[in-house]
Chain A
Amino acid sequence: MSPAETDWTDRASRVALLGLLGLGIAAIFLPMVLTLYLSVFNEQMIVFPPRGYTLAWYGRIAATFGAAIWTSLQIAVVAVALSLALGIPAGIGLSRHRFRGREALSTFLLSPLTVPGIAVGLAIYILAIWIEERSGVTLAGSMRLLILAHLLITMPWVIRLCLASLTNHERTTEEAAASLGASPLMVIWHVTLPAMRPGIIAAGLFAFIISFENLEINLFLVAPGITTLSVSVLQYLGYHIDPLVAAVAVAQMVIVGAALLLLDRFVRLGQVLT
Chain B
Amino acid sequence: MSYLRLDGLTKRYGDTLATNAVSLEISQGEMIVLLGPSGCGKTTTLRMIAGFVEATSGDIVLEGRAIGGLPAHRREMGMVFQNYALFPHLSVARNVAFGLEMRGMKRAERDGRVAEMLQLVKLDRFADRLPRQLSGGQQQRVAIARALAIHPKVLLLDEPLSNLDAELRQDVAREIRLLQQDRHLTTIMVTHDQQEAMAMADRLVVMRDGRVQQVGAQEDLYERPATPFVARFIGNSNLLQGAHANGGFRTEAGTHIALAGRYQGAGPATLALRPERITLCETGQVRGTVVLSAYMGATVEHVVALDHQTRLVARGASSGPGAAPRYAAGQSVALSWPAVSECLFDGGNAPIPALSPFPSERISSHA
Show the binding face of A for B, using Cβ within 8 Å.
170, 172-173, 175-184, 186-187, 190-191, 194-195, 197
Contacts and interface: CB of A to CB of B under 8 A. Distances in A.
Contact of B77 (A170, A179, A187, A195): A179
B294 interface: no
Given A179-B156, A182-B73, A184-B73, 12 more contacts: A172-B81, A172-B85, A173-B86, A175-B72, A176-B79, A179-B50, A179-B73, A179-B77, A180-B102, A180-B147, A181-B150, A190-B87
Given A170-B83, A170-B85, A191-B87, A180 B71 contact: no
Contacts of A194: 87, 89
A175 B79 CA distance: 9
A184 B52 CA distance: 12
Nearest to B77: A179
Nearest to A170: B85
Contacts of B50: 175, 179
B169 interface: no
Interface of B: 50-52, 71-79, 81-83, 85-89, 98-99, 102-103, 143, 146-147, 150, 156
Contact of A173 (B72, B74, B87): B87
Given A172-B83, A186-B102, A190-B98, A179 B89 contact: no
A177 B51 contact: no
A194 B98 CA distance: 14
B105 to A, nearest CB: 10
Given A178-B73, A181-B99, A195 B83 contact: no
Interface residues of chain A: helix, strand, loop or mixed (majority): helix
A146 B82 CA distance: 50
Contacts of A191: 87
A196 to B, nearest CB: 11
Nearest to B102: A181
Of the listed residues A173, A176, A178, A186, the one surrounded by the most CB atoms of chain B closer than 10 A to its CB is A176
Contacts of A181: 73-74, 76, 99, 102-103, 150
Contacts of B72: 175, 178-179
A175 B52 contact: yes
Contacts of B71: 178, 183-184
Contact of B51 (A178, A187, A190, A197): A178
B314 to A, nearest CB: 44
Nearest to A169: B88
Contacts of B87: 173, 176-177, 190-191, 194
Contacts of A178: 51-52, 71-73
Nearest to B78: A179
Of the listed residues B52, B74, B82, B146, the one surrounded by the most CB atoms of chain A closer than 10 A to its CB is B52
A182 B51 CA distance: 13
A39 to B, nearest CB: 43
Contacts of A170: 83, 85
A50 to B, nearest CB: 54
B99 A175 contact: no
Nearest to B80: A176
A180 B146 contact: yes
29 contacts: A170-B83, A172-B81, A172-B85, A175-B50, A175-B72, A175-B81, A175-B85, A176-B87, A176-B146, A177-B87, A177-B98, A178-B52, A178-B71, A178-B73, A179-B75, A179-B78, A179-B79, A180-B102, A180-B150, A181-B74, A181-B103, A182-B98, A182-B102, A184-B73, A186-B73, A186-B102, A194-B87, A195-B88, A197-B89
Contacts of A183: 71, 73
A195 B83 CA distance: 17
Contacts of B99: 180-181
A176 B150 contact: no
Contacts of A187: 73
Contacts of B86: 173, 176
B106 to A, nearest CB: 16
A187 B87 CA distance: 11
A116 B72 CA distance: 48
Contacts of B146: 176, 180
A182 B86 CA distance: 14
Nearest to A197: B89
A175 to B, nearest CB: 5
Of the listed residues B86, B89, B143, the one surrounded by the most CB atoms of chain A closer than 10 A to its CB is B89
A117 B78 CA distance: 53
Contacts of B78: 179-180
Contacts of B77: 179
B288 to A, nearest CB: 50
Contact of A176 (B51, B85, B103): B85
A197 B87 CA distance: 14
Contacts of A197: 89
A167 to B, nearest CB: 15
Contacts of A186: 73, 102
B62 to A, nearest CB: 14
A173 B88 CA distance: 9
Contacts of A175: 50, 52, 72, 79, 81, 85
The 10 closest A-B pairs by CB, nearest first: A180-B99, A181-B102, A172-B85, A176-B85, A178-B72, A179-B79, A194-B89, A173-B85, A178-B73, A172-B81
Contact of A180 (B51, B89, B98): B98
A194 B89 CA distance: 7
A78 to B, nearest CB: 29
A186 B150 CA distance: 17
Contacts of B74: 181
A183 B99 CA distance: 11
A222 B51 CA distance: 54
A96 to B, nearest CB: 14
Given A170-B85, A173-B86, A191-B87, A179 B98 contact: no
Contacts of B79: 175-176, 179
